[in-house]
């Protein structure tokens, strides 16, 4: 662990509440927000631009600030902003494949790698990738969360006494840590795992969360479903009162969302975010569409040949710009599909809406006992194998079909994959086959599919 | 007065090169009839005799003998030597030839280096012809008419295939080093957990 990543942690009241509570879990990791003083200064500037920069967008028109930022980050590869605008629609696109196979082609030559962080994508909606990042870019999530929550009527005060947020996991294994967030006045934050044995007592998770009373819960639908189960099966009055819940990773079903909102008495905000870009959209309070969230990312919808599609026509969501100095994206195809609506929205947000967003369909997997299994756990064990791509399908009998594209098929032992799957799902039937064409299509090749439905 | 060559005059002179000089030089193609072959070693030796009154040593001249491997670069080298000899036969250059050592270096080393990166004949197009002319004039220490020495050097750098190859190789090496650096940093930092992030993707 690099000390730089622990930067920002303050042993104040919030830290004490997180770490000294008798029901606190055994943490398996240490982390901080990693911000340097100059980052915090820069973030204040970014925050001001975010507040004022979200405005009406026109189809096919790249915001001048995005052009200027790309030009600055890619010298001398990109021309001046006005020339860049003129050439925009002829520029080649980039994709997850570039990031997987040629990461150096996406990292600017001048970027100082010393401050680089790496996030690994979960691998639940596409093959896992290593994504270069920066602490300041990750901290920009906070103002965006506040903004989206406010759009849903949720507000909170942050400060050193407050536990601002808890990120929930429900996995066999994931990192857990407490930390404080300097951008939120040293408020507390914790990443916890609800589905593990790291708690002092079986009922510790709920007691701990009730003691923290975080303003915000975030998590994928599986971990939020686990929270719902904890809350609704516990005896006594319900004490958890978050201001908002943010559902990430994959789309949340309407019934689960309504139940969570009812039980927690807080809005549940569906969140569209990629590790490569950070938050891209939040669910409109009045519809199922997602408003584009950041002011500094240009979103367009392209056809198979990279052509700009008319507003309202479905195509691949493609993004440019952003604030990550290690990944200033240029027409990056996300692998997700949808259309853009630039018309005025009754909710009052001027930013365009992503409509019928596809690529974030939740996948339900079950272990040999019929318990929900998190695809993140499968990604964790499969990523240790020398694979280019995989596709796992589970039928309602529990049997698994696994197609693999090994890096070196001749050297790959199929029994490795069977063992990895059974490590997570237990002794289920596993049929494995090599498919060297896997992943050779536009967009994300879904790594997991299932015949189960979330209601089953 | 010994007037400097203009670019047009030099290029025209090069265009008037004997047909035999344009053919596959001695020993490298194998298909040319014996009567059409040019013995490059002999051409070089005769040029030195004319310019300096004595032939080079047999050992040095051996560089212009047939190479049994008949590699493309060897063929291009011998073609470049013949074209350079033809240029040096221009009356104005014959009157003020390069120093002997400079000419030996140009014919024996510089053109060998050029042939190592060239993909076409030394007179394949106007740019290659200009490059050869400027190499010869540089060896002679004579700029083209109307050009300063610096202007001549700048222009040669623009058309210099060897310099271009060196720049490309250096850029490629830089890119490869950067690619290694990025990949190593990604692998190293992936082993650490990154800074706290309030939501997952």
Q: Please, what is the Cα angle at A247 between A243 and A251, to 5 degrees?
A: 145
Tens of pLDDT, residue by residue over B180-191, are: 999 999 999 987
Query: Is the Cβ pair A177, B196 closer than 8 Å?
Result: yes
Query: Is the Cβ pair B185, A2 closer than 8 Å?
Result: no
Contacts of A333 (CB under 8 A, 6+ apart): A93, A94, A95, A96, A302, A316, A317, A318, A442, A443
Record the tokens describing residue A133, joined without a space.
Answer: 């990042």
Tens of pLDDT, residue by residue over A174-191, are: 899 999 999 999 999 999
- B30 pLDDT band (50/70/90 cuts)? very low
- A445 pLDDT band (50/70/90 cuts)? low
Residues of A in contact with B187 (CB under 8 A): 130
- Could you list the beta-strand ranges (E) of A233-378: 244-247, 268-274, 278-283, 290-292, 297-302, 315-321, 329-341, 353-358, 365-366, 372-373
Tell which wins on pLDDT, B20 or A82.
A82
pLDDT attached to residue A442: 42
The partner residue sitting opposite A246, judged by closest CB among B175, B185, B199, is: B199
pLDDT attached to residue B28: 45
Tell which wins on pLDDT, A243 or A173.
A243
Tens of pLDDT, residue by residue over A49-76, are: 999 999 999 999 999 999 999 999 988 7
pLDDT score of B27 more than 60: no
Nearest Cα residue in chain B from A275: B201
Record the tokens describing residue A46, joined without a space.
Answer: 């970014």
What percentage of residues in chain A have a pLDDT greater than 90? 69
Average pLDDT over residues A343-371: 89
A219 touches chain B (CB under 8 A): yes
Query: Is the Cβ pair A141, B197 closer than 8 Å?
Result: yes
The partner residue sitting opposite A167, judged by closest CB among B181, B192, B200, is: B200
* CB-CB contact of A200 with A22 (8 Å): yes
* CB-CB contact of A196 with A27 (8 Å): no
- B107 pLDDT band (50/70/90 cuts)? very high
Average pLDDT over residues A235-253: 89
Which range, of A1-5, A32-36, A391-395, B40-44, averages the lowest pLDDT? Answer: A1-5
The distance of Cα A118 from the centroid of its chain, to the nearest Å, equals 14
Q: Residues 4 to 23 of A: which have CB under 8 A from any B CB?
A: 5
Record the tokens describing residue B58, joined without a space.
Answer: 């047999």
Neighbours of B115 (CB within 10 A): 22
The partner residue sitting opposite A141, judged by closest CB among B181, B192, B199, is: B199
Report H helices in B141-160. 149-159
Tell which wins on pLDDT, B4 or A252.
B4
Say whether the peptide bond before residue A76 is cis (omega within 30 degrees of 0).
yes
The distance of Cα A372 from the centroid of its chain, to the nearest Å, equals 20
pLDDT attached to residue B31: 47
Nearest to A163 by CA among A147, A179, A174, A148: A179
Nearest to A357 by CA among A452, A252, A454, A442: A252
B189 touches chain A (CB under 8 A): yes
Residues of B in contact with A34 (CB under 8 A): 194-196
Tens of pLDDT, residue by residue over A310-342, are: 999 999 999 999 899 999 999 999 988 899 999
Nearest to A168 by CA among B95, B200, B177, B194: B200
Tens of pLDDT, residue by residue over A197-208, are: 899 999 999 999
Record the tokens describing residue A191, joined without a space.
Answer: 């990443």
pLDDT mean across residues, chain A: 90
């Amino acid at each position: 662990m690099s000390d730089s990543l622990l930067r920002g942690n303050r042993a104040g009241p919030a830290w004490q509440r997180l770490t000294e509570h008798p029901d606190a879990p055994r943490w398996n990791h240490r982390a901080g927000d990693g911000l340097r003083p100059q980052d915090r200064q820069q973030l204040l500037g970014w925050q001001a631009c975010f507040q004022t920069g979200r405005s009406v967008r026109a189809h096919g028109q790249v915001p001048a600030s995005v052009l200027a930022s790309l030009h600055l980050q890619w010298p001398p590869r990109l021309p001046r902003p006005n020339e860049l605008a003129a050439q925009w629609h002829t520029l080649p696109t980039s994709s997850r494949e570039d990031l997987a196979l040629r990461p150096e082609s996406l990292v600017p030559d001048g970027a100082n790698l010393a401050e680089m962080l790496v996030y690994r994508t979960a691998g639940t909606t596409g093959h896992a990738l290593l994504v270069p990042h920066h602490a300041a870019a990750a901290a920009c999530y906070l103002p965006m969360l506040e903004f989206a929550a406010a759009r849903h009527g949720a507000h909170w005060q942050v400060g050193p006494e407050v536990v601002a947020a808890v990120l929930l996991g429900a996995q066999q294994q994931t990192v857990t840590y407490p930390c404080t967030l300097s951008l939120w006045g040293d408020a507390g934050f914790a990443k916890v795992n609800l589905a593990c044995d790291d708690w002092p007592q079986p009922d510790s998770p709920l007691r701990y969360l009730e003691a923290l009373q975080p303003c915000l819960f975030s998590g994928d639908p599986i971990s939020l479903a686990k929270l719902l189960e904890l809350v609704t099966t516990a005896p006594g009055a319900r004490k958890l009162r978050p201001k908002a819940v943010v559902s990430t990773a994959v789309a949340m079903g309407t019934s689960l969302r309504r139940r969570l909102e009812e039980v927690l008495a807080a809005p549940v905000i569906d969140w569209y975010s990629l590790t490569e870009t950070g938050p891209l959209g939040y669910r409109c309070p009045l519809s199922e569409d997602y408003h584009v969230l950041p002011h500094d990312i240009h979103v367009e919808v392209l056809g198979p040949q990279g052509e700009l599609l008319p507003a309202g026509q479905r195509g691949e969501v493609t993004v440019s710009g952003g604030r990550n100095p290690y990944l200033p994206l240029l027409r990056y195809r996300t692998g997700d599909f949808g259309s853009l609506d630039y018309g005025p929205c009754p909710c009052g947000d001027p930013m365009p809406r992503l409509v019928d967003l596809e690529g974030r369909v939740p996948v339900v997997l079950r272990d040999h006992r019929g318990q929900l299994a998190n695809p993140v756990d499968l990604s964790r064990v499969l990523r240790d194998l020398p694979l280019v791509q995989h596709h796992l399908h589970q039928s309602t009998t529990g049997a698994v079909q696994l197609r693999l594209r090994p890096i070196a098929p001749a050297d790959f032992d199929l029994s490795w994959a069977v063992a990895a799957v059974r490590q997570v799902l237990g002794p289920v039937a596993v049929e494995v086959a090599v498919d060297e064409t896997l992943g050779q299509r536009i967009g994300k090749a879904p790594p997991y599919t299932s015949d189960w439905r979330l209601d089953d | 007065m010994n007037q400097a060559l203009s670019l047009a005059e030099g290029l025209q002179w090069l265009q008037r090169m004997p047909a035999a000089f344009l053919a596959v030089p001695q020993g490298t193609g194998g298909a040319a009839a014996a009567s059409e072959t040019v013995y490059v070693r002999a051409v070089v030796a005769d040029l030195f005799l004319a310019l300096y009154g004595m032939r080079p040593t047999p050992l040095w001249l051996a560089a212009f003998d047939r190479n049994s491997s008949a590699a493309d670069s060897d063929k291009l080298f011998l073609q470049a030597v013949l074209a350079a000899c033809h240029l040096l036969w221009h009356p104005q250059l014959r009157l003020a030839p390069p120093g002997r050592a400079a000419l030996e270096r140009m014919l024996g080393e510089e053109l060998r280096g050029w042939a190592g990166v060239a993909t076409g004949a030394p007179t394949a197009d106007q740019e290659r012809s200009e490059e050869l002319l400027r190499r010869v004039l540089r060896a002679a220490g004579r700029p083209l008419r109307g050009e300063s020495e610096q202007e001549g050097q700048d222009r040669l750098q623009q058309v210099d295939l060897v310099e271009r190859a060196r720049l490309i190789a250096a850029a490629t090496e830089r890119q490869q080093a950067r690619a290694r650096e990025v990949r190593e940093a990604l692998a190293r930092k992936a082993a650490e957990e990154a800074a706290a992030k309030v939501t997952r993707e």
